[in-house]
Structure 1
Amino acid sequence: MRLLASVVVVLSGLGSPALAEDCASLVKSMCGDAAGQEGSGTVDNTGRRVLTVEVKPPAYAIGDRFPVEERSLLMNPKRYGLPGTDGTWRYYAMDGVVYRVDNTSAKVIEVIRDSRTWRLR
């Protein structure tokens, strides 16, 4: 199943898209003219450019065996706003997703994907 998310970005204070050379957007593909000649996405009737992004599902789902031999343990979960471990499970990070994994079976117990974890690789 493909998931799509729409992100609306206002490119200038006047509500109209900026020219590419004047664009300060971190997402350079959002820079372009009002006709949509440069950049990706579409311009809506308010002058905002709408970008459609494909969101990839996590590599492992609840119940899958996680490759604990190949990944590093997340050592300080409280740094990311996650509760500490109780000894029966541990956290592993991969591609911006944190997996809570059972110690004995290496099965995924929980998949955590939010603003706290997106930087983790």
Structure 2
Amino acid sequence: MTCPARALPLLLVAALAAAGSGTSARAEPALPEGASACKVMQGSGVTFCKFGNRWIATTARAPDLAVGDPFPIYEQSMLMDLDRYGLPPVDGPWRYYRRDGVIYKVSARDGRVIEILGRRTSR
């Protein structure tokens, strides 16, 4: 299966072209490699494409938290099966958390975001 993130630049180019054309008609999103269909959600504008029998969000959304922000560790579950997400083992005072599809490396000492690892899906 191909990575839908590679198709992101194509979607951005299509969105910019549609925005710059001055037309009010909504253009269909470009199909990324391996996708059979794509839909844009009305409220959020997020594009979902169908890969096999799964719909996957293919547009990038900025993470909710930045490095140094306090992470709501009591509202989220810590990731335990690191191999499932292709993460290296924990060998220091941090933990991995996933929130809204984004994986964060969070300090075990003060609960602040150390690193944003980005969007990853389970294997």
Q: TM-score range by the shorter chain?
A: 0.5 to 0.7
- Aligned Cα root-mean-square deviation (Å): 3.0
Match of residue 69, structure 1, among 56, 65, 74: 74
SS, match of residue 85 in structure 1: coil
> Which one has more relative contact order, counting CA pairs under 8 Å at least 6 apart?
1
TM-score (norm 2): 0.54
CA distance in 1 between partners of 2:70 and 2:39 (Å): 38
Q: Which has the higher helix share?
A: 2
CA distance in 1 between partners of 2:79 and 2:65 (Å): 16
Unaligned runs of 5+ in 2: 1-7, 12-29, 41-57
Match of residue 80, structure 1, among 85, 89, 103: 85
CA distance in 2 between partners of 1:26 and 1:55 (Å): 18
Aligned length: 80
| Equivalent AA in structure 2 for residue 69 of structure 1 | Y
CA distance in 1 between partners of 2:60 and 2:9 (Å): 7
SS, match of residue 37 in structure 2: coil
Q: Which has the larger radius of gyration?
A: 1
TM-score (norm 1): 0.55
| Equivalent AA in structure 2 for residue 86 of structure 1 | D
CA distance in 2 between partners of 1:93 and 1:28 (Å): 25
Unaligned runs of 5+ in 1: 11-23, 30-52
Task: State percent identity of aligned pairs.
Answer: 42
Aligned to 2:31: 9
> Deviation per CA, 1:39-73, whole angstroms, max 9, x where unpaired?
xxxxxxxxxxxxxx863210111100000010000
Match of residue 37, structure 2, among 20, 23, 26: 26
Q: Could you list the structure 1 runs, at least 4 aligned residues long, displaced by more than 3 angstroms after superposition.
A: none
